[in-house]
A and B are shown apart, each in its own frame.
Chain A
Amino acid sequence: MSGSTDRPPVRVVLAKLGLDGHDRGLKVVARMLRDGGMEVVYLGLRQTTDTIIDAVEQEDADVVGISMLNAGHLTLGPRMVEALADAGLDVPVVIGGIVPDEDLPAMANAGVAGVLGPGATAEEVVACVRAAADARG
């Protein structure tokens, strides 16, 4: 075939949970990841764990990135991790949003692979997603 033995680009499914229409952050992150050489399967606004799982499965994604506006991280983050596990998909979850430091251990315990807060730089975003992909192997 193409004969290339380089590692293929990391594939990331990117989605927003919740009803609100704020997708500025999600779009910026999508571009950061693209500019970091990754393939972003963009699902956009108002996704559910079900639609995300469909996408992760069919797209053979390496990482799931979900963004949420307020205070959903403690419920929605672990719920996403669980739903993926229930579907038999071993794919790390990275969360973007406002997560207070004191919640970070709880998030890690729940199996969330990474958390990106407001003001994360492009390098941090790409590094966090790449680390999550690498940890999966």
Chain B
Amino acid sequence: MDSLSSPASRFRTLSGIPVDAVYGDGPAPGEFPYTRGVHAEMYRTRPWTMRMFAGFGTATDTNARFGELLAAGGTGLSTAFDMPTLMGRDSDHDWALGEVGRAGVAVDTVEDMADLFAGIDLGAVSTSMTINGPAPILLAMYVVVAEEGGVDRERLAGTLQNDILKEYQAQKEYLFPPRPSVRLVTDVIGFTTAEMPRWNPVSISGYHIREAGSTAVQELAFTLANGFAYVEAAVAAGLHVDDFAPRLSFFFNSHSDLFEEVGKFRAARRIWARWMRDRYGATDERSLKLRFHTQTAGVSLTAQQPEVNIARVALQALAGVLGGTQSLHTDSFDEALALPSEDAARIALRTQQVIAHETGVTNVVDPLGGSAYVEWMTDEMERQATEVFDHLEQLGDGSLLEGVYAGIDDGWFVGEIADASYRHEREVNAGERIVVGVNEFTEGDDPSARRLLRIGQETEELQRKRLATVRQGRDAAAVASTLARVAVDAAESTTNLMPALLEAVRARATVGEVVDALEGVFGTYVERAVV
């Protein structure tokens, strides 16, 4: 009864036992090297952001969904774009056939972006845009929509994924060769650093590396190496590390091996802090603190007995929280089959709420810290990641940026990931690794219950008409001259492309037209086939 009588702590277990913020010795949460977390109090003062992804159909469809989210008290909007937009193609391009508005929202011109955010005060929300190859163009559109609506660019808050390196390594949504693509990334960093202080210009993403079949160590090491590469590129472009590094953020996967995942997150913070301070000379504390978003592992979801995925997602989400994530997206259990249904998306969000409000894991910061196993795992993750950094450094003659370029060029990343993925597949195949419902405990699966996804073609037709209308209504000469300037500025590698891009999209140039203009200068990219 002693414990119940202590009023000192607001935080008590389910049975009423009061608990402290942190247990154990060594550097505390909020202290360098931040192994135990970037904040001293973590979820005791503010829970993680439960960020769910939205985007489908035309801009108007998604806008309606945004309206509902904001009415329900949300302040953050997260936008998914359709495949043609992600690949920098217009909705009337050959490639777009059957893909318009399917996996996200279709945006061809600044008019679509205006529809997407119609009636929303862009000075009051924060917007996350999941886009990479054409990211600078979409950012330019967002800025133009805000300014045409009377909101200055310095008031805009949000995050652009804009992580092109992992595209060559894993997700394969690249437009141009690596070097000019990284120049576009640093142009965005330079532009937002100077003019959009509330904007996160890059979300350095391991998520897709893991989804492509990598191991946890590969995810950790490749992602951080990409982060260091961007730092080197931005510094080479003349920026000061402490001017932009506080605005870099990360995006990790949370897979099913709980302690491995927790070790990975803890190691990521420690490595980033040490490298930023010791190698890149950062002194601003915010430059040293690795902040990250987490999503549960889509690749782990099974088509067989899909309800079992609810349990997988819950455990993976728990790993993300125990690892100290700043925000979290939980996958819907039916995602191995199709785009998530509304019911499944709600269960996914409820899963986060159960962890936040029922489990008590938020009462203590880094509750696993000090566990001999977890501390060993954290060290081991760091040790193995360091081997990867050493290899890349050697490839790049001392430069991580050059090492990453070389690793892309020679197919090293792709090959490493393909090897890991195949190894896993063979283990499952041989029964050395059990996947519940797939190679063990298979009774109870009902294939006929699998929901069908039928997508209509109306969106595609609507969007093409919309695009044709915009093309007709604009000043063709202005479009041509602004696109010419894009090409001229692209050819001058030290010129920041953002002003030319703003001008082009303001003149109603389409995403596809701007990409074509850039492609004319930069060329395209074909990966070495490493199978």
A and B touch in the complex (CB under 8 A): yes
Looking at the complex, which one of B98, B303, B454 makes contact with A118 (CB distance below 8 Å)? B303
How far does the Cβ of A19 sit from chain B's closest Cβ, in whole Å?
4
A121 proximity list for chain B (CB < 8 A): 429
| Number of B positions contacting A (CB below 8 A) | 45
Tell me whether A100 and B83 are in contact (CB under 8 A): no
Tell me whether B167 and A21 are in contact (CB under 8 A): yes
B531 located at the interface, meaning its Cβ lies under 8 Å from any Cβ of chain A in the complex: yes
The stretch of B22-30, B38-46, B331-339 in contact with A is: B331-339
Looking at the complex, which one of B439, B454, B531 makes contact with A30 (CB distance below 8 Å)? B531
A102 proximity list for chain B (CB < 8 A): 448, 452
A23 proximity list for chain B (CB < 8 A): 172, 212
- A121–B95 alpha-carbon span in the complex (Å): 32
The stretch of A40-48, A58-66, A82-90 in contact with B is: A40-48
Tell me whether B426 and A24 are in contact (CB under 8 A): no
B450 proximity list for chain A (CB < 8 A): 98, 100-101
Identify which of residues 446-491 in chain B touch chain A, using a CB-to-CB cut-off of 8 Å.
Answer: 447-448, 450, 452-455
Identify which of residues 419-448 in chain B touch chain A, using a CB-to-CB cut-off of 8 Å.
Answer: 421-422, 425-426, 429, 435, 438-439, 447-448
B304 located at the interface, meaning its Cβ lies under 8 Å from any Cβ of chain A in the complex: yes
A20 proximity list for chain B (CB < 8 A): 83, 103, 173
Tell me whether A19 and B529 are in contact (CB under 8 A): no
Interface residues as binary, A105-124 with B (CB distance below 8 Å gives 1, 0 otherwise): 00000000000011101110
A9 located at the interface, meaning its Cβ lies under 8 Å from any Cβ of chain B in the complex: no
How far does the Cβ of A62 sit from chain B's closest Cβ, in whole Å?
19
A72 proximity list for chain B (CB < 8 A): 98
- A23–B417 alpha-carbon span in the complex (Å): 11
B527 proximity list for chain A (CB < 8 A): 44
Tell me whether B531 and A31 are in contact (CB under 8 A): yes
B76 located at the interface, meaning its Cβ lies under 8 Å from any Cβ of chain A in the complex: no
- A21–B338 alpha-carbon span in the complex (Å): 17
A71 located at the interface, meaning its Cβ lies under 8 Å from any Cβ of chain B in the complex: yes
Looking at the complex, which one of B98, B103, B302, B425 makes contact with A75 (CB distance below 8 Å)? B98
Looking at the complex, which one of B95, B96, B454 makes contact with A71 (CB distance below 8 Å)? B454
How far does the Cβ of B424 sit from chain A's closest Cβ, in whole Å?
9
Interface residues as binary, B272-302 with A (CB distance below 8 Å gives 1, 0 otherwise): 0000000000000000000000000001001
A45 proximity list for chain B (CB < 8 A): 172
A98 proximity list for chain B (CB < 8 A): 303, 336-338, 450
A131 proximity list for chain B (CB < 8 A): none
Identify which of residues 324-352 in chain B touch chain A, using a CB-to-CB cut-off of 8 Å.
Answer: 336-339
A127 located at the interface, meaning its Cβ lies under 8 Å from any Cβ of chain B in the complex: no
B84 located at the interface, meaning its Cβ lies under 8 Å from any Cβ of chain A in the complex: yes
Ordered by A's residue number, 25 sampled pairs between the chains whose C-beta atoms are within 8 Å are: A19-B86, A20-B83, A20-B173, A21-B167, A24-B212, A27-B531, A28-B421, A28-B422, A30-B531, A31-B418, A31-B531, A32-B425, A42-B531, A44-B527, A46-B95, A98-B337, A100-B448, A100-B450, A101-B448, A101-B450, A102-B452, A118-B303, A119-B302, A119-B304, A122-B426
Q: A31-B531, A98-B450 are in contact. List 8 more A-B contacts (CB 8 A).
A: A19-B83, A20-B83, A22-B211, A27-B531, A28-B421, A30-B531, A31-B418, A71-B455
Which A residues fall within an 8 A CB radius of B? 18-24, 27-28, 30-32, 40, 42, 44-46, 70-72, 75, 98, 100-103, 117-119, 121-123
